[in-house]
Amino acid sequence: MDRTQRGVLAGMATAFLAAVATFILAVIFAGPGLASRASLDFRVELLAASVMAPALSLFVCIARLAKHRFFTPADINGSALTDGTARAKLLQALLQNTLEQAALAVPVYLSCSFVCSARFLGIIPAAAAMFLAGRLAFFAGYANGAPARAFGFAFTFYPTVILGCTTVVFLITRWIS
**Structure confidence by residue, pLDDT tens digits, 53-87:** 999 999 999 999 999 999 999 999 887 777 889 99
**Is the CATH code 1.20.120.550 the one for domain 3-176?**
yes
**8 and 147 in contact (C-beta within 8 Å)?**
yes
In degrees and rounded to multiples of 5, residue 30 shows phi and psi of -95, -30
Q: How far, in Å, CA of 31 to CA of 167, rounded? A: 16
Which contiguous run of DSSP H or E holds residue 80? none
Tell me how far apart the alpha carbons of residues 50 and 95 are, in angstroms, rounded to a whole number.
Answer: 19
For 117-153, the pLDDT digits (tens) are: 998 999 999 999 999 999 999 999 999 999 999 999 9
The predicted structure's pLDDT at residue 28 = 93
> What mean pLDDT value characterizes the chain?
94
**pTM, entire model:** 0.94
Cα(131)–Cα(138) distance, integer angstroms? 10
Domain ranges of the chain: 3-176
